[in-house]
Every structure is written in structure tokens, then in C-alpha cells.
Chains A and B, each alone.
Chain A
Amino acid sequence: MKVDIYERFWMWGATVMIVGFLTAIVIASVTQAVQPPSHMETIDPATVFTDSEFANPGVTIHDDGSVTVVVRSELYVFYPRTIRVPQGRPVTFRMTSPDVLHGFQIVGTNANATVVPGYVTEFMITFHEPGEKLIVCNEYCGLSHHLMQGTLIVEPAGAAAPSSTTEAETP
């Protein structure tokens, strides 16, 4: 097959570019475990309100300093409404929905996951800067979708955090 010389150059260029992108992605995901939330755990959506974990959503600070945040996303609220986490510690978010799909996006960070009824979404993130962040639902869930929001407060590392608290908030 005859291919024009310039077009050959172009095709090689395109190939190099694509391979370059892919190499960067694969290296990042293998060496630094950079990957999107892909947790494999299911839960019966009908039991979310009685489930020992999701009936009492809140923040737990473990003895080793790591943090778990359990969030229940439901039409049109994230519980807890205000989430307080310490700065600079790995925070594991665990969430599910008793009704439809929701999105959980902490504006200005890399936290962005789909919350699916029947499944548990889990991902880990560390917040390096203290301050207040807006949480929005970014998956259409009904007529008040644009009102579904929450607040995340990252408390400065200096603030004396109790070694283990459970801050539950129920409707």
C-alpha cells in the first residue's frame, strides 16, 4: 500500500503520542496505585436504614490515625451533612444509596465517585490543606438534584483531635 511520506510521518507521530499517553497512565497506575474508585462490595439497598454501618453514618478516627467516613447519600441529602476530617491523614470514604444513583464530588479535590444503590463505593484520599469544601451531587437524581450538597471541613493538623470519635447524625 502506498502512503504519502508526510502522512507516514504523521502516523508515526500519532502512534508515538498515543503510546506515550498510555505509558504515562499505566506507569502511574502501577507504581503509585493511581486509579479510579473501583470497590467490589454489595449491600441490599432495602436494608441501608437498618444496616449497622449505614444507619449511623459518620466519621471515625482510628487508633493508628487513619480516618473512615461513612456517608449515606439519599434523595437529596448527604448524611452526615457536615463532615469533619483532620488534615494530612488518609481518609477512607465508604458510601451507598438507599434509592437512586448519586454522585459524590468534593469540589476542588480529586474525590469524585458514583454512589450506586446495591453497591458500596469506597475510595481513599488525603486532604493536605485545611479549610471548608463544597460537596455536590453530580449524578442527576431527581427534581432537587441541584440542591443536593454537603460540607467538608478539613481541620488543621494542630487542632487536638480526639483519638477516636464517632460523630453520627441522623435525619
Chain B
Amino acid sequence: MSHAVTGLEHEHLDAETVGALVNPSPLDIARRDRFDRFRLEFHNFGIAIGAFGLGAAMAVMQSLSRADIDLPFRSEKMYYLSVTAHGVLLALVFTTFFIMGLGYLLARLGFGKLEWEGLAWASHWTAVFGSSMTALAILSGSSTVLYTFYPPLQAHWSFYVGATLLIVGSWGFCAVLLRTFIVWKKENPGVPTPLPAHGMVTSVIIWILATSGLAVEVVGMLIPWSLGLIDTVDPVVARTWFWWFGHPLTYFWLVPAYVVWYTIMPRHIGGRLFSDHLTRVVFVLFILFSTPVGFHHQFSDPGIDAKWKLLHTVTTYAVMFPSLVTAFTITASIELAGRLRGGRGLFGWLRKLPWKDPLFASVALAMVTFGVGGFGGAINAAFAMNTMVHNTAWIMGHFHLTVGTATALTFMGVSYWILPRLIGRELAFKPLATLQPYLWFLGMILFAVVNHVTGIMGMPRRVFSGQFQGSPVADQWQGLTVLSAHGGIVLFVSSLFFLLVILGTLMVGKKIEPPSFDFAIPVEGQPERAGLWDRFGLWTVVAVVLIVMAYAYPIAHLYGMERFGSVGFKPF
């Protein structure tokens, strides 16, 4: 299934453009053609990377502040405003736009075309508009509620409306992908879905299941409340809907990274995908188990029975299984590549791998980091052990390893692969690109591991200062916060390198014939017929049944209790 795009189809070029160019060379034509074909993707990636740059710039200031290092403009107001912006820009805007770009790209290549491209553009601008609205609400200081926006903290209505428009835009993306998939299926009965597109359809289904909960919270509760149409909302009910969304959200981030690991990286380094079958099984398991798990974020909440929390613990552990299978399949695929490149012996293949290649290095380091993060996740999810780490610096150490590295570093790595193919330019500043993933890894190990340690010591997350008015207990973690701030600086340098390479490539990268997009071929060859694991409709129905089983009773119970809502507060 190598979806080679030759870039030699000239029919997209209209006469006018040709006339405007004096004797365009075949290279120029090929490059322009390619770019025209993927303009939508280019725009989505562009917004994602812009949001990443802003979020990273704020992050370094935050990590210094937590270590009580004095900076110009350092204040409580700035700190919490910045953490809100960093969380929203990176966890919601950067990820969502990048995934939309990747989804359009892989669907277009896998299915041969995109349906409803007009809707895709309208959704893009809706999401851009919404994100800007939320960003403005945050920057104005009226909405310092963090990216989890738990009521009764109340943001300005434009914060919630903007976020809703971002989600509505992403639903447009979902509709385009599903429509394209359905049309393709009709035209290709019995053919297994091309794996990269298969993975992105999986993310889309997870996203639809996830955002249904968010919509209830934001549209049903927070928007009318912030507009004054209703006086009170119930914080536990709101949190329950939020975490219905919040955990599958993490798989919406992770599955696209896995798609890169499974379908792009092995081919890029000259290997094969170890198992096509298991990859499809893994994706289905994510559809089934990523949503009915939300109570593991509410272990210490009142109002939810411990039995239901225990049930969600079981499903949470179940969702570890597909990630463990992934660890094997990807490692085996990499080993295969090492051996195909002439590596011998038990570990000799490791030396043959292209460690200087930024895509490979990013994926390999992202995997190692995810191994550490996953181990920590098993502790977070462990019902009673959770009280040791709940809301401490451990948690923010944890998600910087997972979304902040497994996902973010993979996205940076695959940007180095995608960009030359979109615009027909070689990567600029290659040495920076080679170094960048290693710097990120180093910075993140320093930053995140140290935060795990201070978290176990009891340092809370989301604090402007770690001093606690000179408490002797807080003295223990003072030196460590400085160490994690060093990690923050290294991360910042790595982000700058990434942005320099991207901007440099856009502006001064050497013009080349756009390389083709090639995807990994399974060891056992391409599957011949679509099987059980390709039946998205069936698995979605099963997933909905599991969600109903996990949530119907506790939610009904909550709604049935005598409850008292809360009015809004703005202590910021």
C-alpha cells in the first residue's frame, strides 16, 4: 500500500497561473501542484505550530516562577493567566489543529480524495475564530480558570463560546473524514481500510465519543451560567461530564502519534510494520476502552460511590493493554529495520539505526518517554495509591511525559517528514533538527522526573511559588524546583530549534522535487479482505454500550440526589 504521490499531475494548475509565470520550470510546477493539493493540511499545521510556539514561550517563564526565580513581570496574575494560556494553547489548540492536519493528509492519501472539502475549510476558520476568541478572553485577564475550567470558577462567556467553536470546527473535521471513509467504502467493498487512514478514523470516533460529554457540560451548563441565564451549576456534575471527555481526549492525542509510529516511521527507516492485524486490534481496543474510565480523574471527589470508581479503575487498566502491544510491535518493527540495514547480533541492530534522522530520533525518544509515563500512569490509576499523587507536581510531570512528549515530540518529528513533502523544500538547518529531539528528551527528563519527585514529597501542582511562606516542609523541594526550571530552559531551546527549522525550511529550504509519501508495508503483506477489526460501526456500538454501563447509573444517581448548585466566582 505505498501511496506514492508523484506530483506530476498538472491538471490542478489553471491557465491563468501558468500565464503569470514566465516559463515555469518543471520543478516549480511540481512544487506548486503539490502545495495546491495540500493547502488545507498546510493551514491546519500552520495554526498548530503557531500555537505551539506561543505555548512554549510561556512555559519557560512558568517553570522559573515555580522555582521562585525572580523575573521581570512575575506576578500571581501573570502566572495563572499564563498557565491557563499554556494549557489551552498546547493541550487543546496545538493538538487539535495538528491532528486535523494529519487526519486530512492521511485520509486524502489513503482514500485518494477528500469529500466535502468546503466544509473542511469552513470548519478550519470556525476553529481558528473560536481559538482566537478563547485566547483573547484569557489574555484580557477575565478568564484565568485554567484549561480544565472547573466551576464555580467562572470565566467570561467568550472563553466558553470560543472553546465551543473550536470543538464545532473539529466536528466538521470528523464529518469530512467519516464521509470520505463511507464514500470510499462504497466504492471499494471488502477492501481493508488503508492503515494510516484507519488510524485517523479511529481518532475521529474517539473524539466524537469524548466531546459529547464536553458539549453537555459547556453548552448545557457553563455557557448559560456565564451569560446569567441560569444562576447555579453543580461542580461535581460538571466535573463528571468534563472527565467523560478528558480521558478519551488523551487517546485522541495518542492515537495519531501511534499512527506515525506504526505507519510512517518504519518505512522511513527502511523497515516493515511488524503486524498489520494487531495494529487494527489495538485501534479497536482504544475505541472500546478510552471513554468508560473518567472517574479515575475523580477518585478524591465526593458524590461518586467508591464502587463505581473501582469499576472505572478496571477499564483504565484494560486500556493499558493496547499500549503494551504497541510497545512490542513498534520495537519489533524498528529491530527489523536495523537488521535490514545490516545490523547483527542481539543488540547490533541498534547501532545501524539512523539516530541522526530527526523523525526516527523523535519517535524512538517519544517511545522511551512514554514507557516511563505509562508506568507512572499505572500508579495514578491505582485507586488508593492515587491519593499519594493526586494534584501534586507528579501529575504535571506525568502529562509532560505523555502528551507533552510522546505526542508533542512525535508531532514535531513528523513535521520534519511532512513539510518537505508539502512544499517541495529540503529541511533547512539540519544540524538543529538533528539535535532538537535529543534536547527535548533531555529537558523533559530533567523537568518531568524532578516534578515526579517533588510531587511524591507533596508539592502541589499549579502553584505560583513553591515556598509556602517558608514552611520547613516546603524547604525540602526548593532546590529541586530549580533543577526542574533548568529542564524548562533546555525545553525552551529545543522548541526554538524546532521553530527555526520550520521557518527556515519555509523560507530558505533548498527547492526539491517533492518526495513521495510512503507508508510502511506489513511483514505479512497487505491484508486481502476487510475483517472483523475493520468494522468501525460495530465497535462504536459496543463502545457506546460500555459507556452507558460505566456512566448511566452514577450519573442518574447524581442527578437524583438533593443537590445545591454554586454561583460563579472570579477570584482572579
Contacts and interface: CB of A to CB of B under 8 A. Distances in A.
29 contacts: A2-B524, A3-B277, A4-B332, A11-B324, A14-B325, A18-B317, A29-B384, A36-B384, A37-B301, A38-B302, A41-B302, A42-B303, A42-B563, A45-B564, A100-B150, A101-B235, A107-B457, A114-B298, A117-B566, A119-B235, A119-B302, A136-B460, A138-B391, A139-B150, A140-B80, A142-B569, A143-B77, A145-B464, A147-B468
Interface in A104-138: 105, 107-108, 110-114, 116-122, 133-134, 136-138
A43 interface: yes
Q: Which 3 A-B pairs have the closest CB atoms?
A: A142-B571, A107-B458, A138-B460
Nearest to A45: B566
Given A143-B77, A143-B571, A146-B468, A122 B278 contact: no
A46 B232 CA distance: 11
Contact of A140 (B457, B462, B474, B569): B462
B465 A146 contact: yes
A38 B300 CA distance: 7
Given A112-B300, A136-B460, A136-B468, A118 B234 contact: yes
Interface in B117-164: 144, 146, 150, 152-153
Contacts of B350: none
Interface string A25-52: 1101100001111111111111000000
B335 to A, nearest CB: 11
Contact of A112 (B313, B391, B469, B565): B391
Interface hub of B234, B390, B562 (most chain A Cβ within 10 A) = B390
A162 B462 CA distance: 40
B22 interface: no
B325 A105 contact: no
A137 B563 contact: no
Contacts of B569: 75, 99-100, 142
A41 B302 CA distance: 8
Contacts of B317: 18, 21-22
Given A18-B321, A36-B299, A134 B471 contact: yes
Given A35-B306, A37-B300, A116-B301, 7 more contacts: A29-B306, A75-B571, A112-B300, A114-B302, A136-B468, A141-B153, A143-B571
Interface of B: 76-77, 80, 144, 146, 150, 152-153, 234-236, 274-275, 277-278, 298-306, 309-310, 313-314, 317-318, 320-321, 324-325, 328-329, 332, 378, 382-384, 386-388, 390-392, 457-458, 460-466, 468-469, 471, 473-474, 524, 561-566, 569, 571-572
Contacts of B386: 36
A145 B329 contact: no
A122 B302 contact: yes
A45 to B, nearest CB: 6
Contacts of A15: 321
A122 B317 CA distance: 27
A44 B564 contact: yes
A7 interface: yes
A119 B303 contact: yes
A122 B302 CA distance: 8
A110 B384 CA distance: 9
Contacts of B299: 36
A122 B303 CA distance: 11
A141 to B, nearest CB: 7
Contacts of A121: 302
A118 B235 CA distance: 8
A140 B236 CA distance: 16
A144 interface: yes
A145 B79 CA distance: 11
A40 B384 CA distance: 18
A124 to B, nearest CB: 13
B378 A21 contact: yes
A1 interface: yes
B392 A105 contact: yes
Nearest to B383: A25
B170 to A, nearest CB: 26
A118 B460 contact: no
A47 to B, nearest CB: 8
A39 B235 CA distance: 15
A7 B325 CA distance: 8
Contact of A134 (B325, B474, B564, B565): B474
B320 A18 contact: yes
Contact of A143 (B304, B314, B572): B572
A18 B153 CA distance: 38
Contact of B235 (A2, A25, A117, A120): A117
B418 to A, nearest CB: 30
Contacts of B466: 146
A134 B566 CA distance: 29
A48 to B, nearest CB: 10
A25 B318 CA distance: 14
B275 A4 contact: yes
Contact of A116 (B236, B274, B382): B236
Given A29-B383, A38-B306, A105-B460, A113 B77 contact: no
B473 A107 contact: yes
Nearest to A95: B302
Contact of B325 (A11, A139, A141): A11
Contacts of A3: 275, 277-278
Contacts of B300: 36-37, 112-114
Interface hub of B321, B383, B565 (most chain A Cβ within 10 A) = B383
Contacts of A56: none
A49 to B, nearest CB: 14
B391 A105 contact: yes
Given A36-B383, A117-B566, A136-B458, A7 B275 contact: yes
Given A28-B384, A75-B571, A140-B80, A118 B565 contact: yes
B461 A149 contact: no
A58 interface: no
Nearest to A110: B387
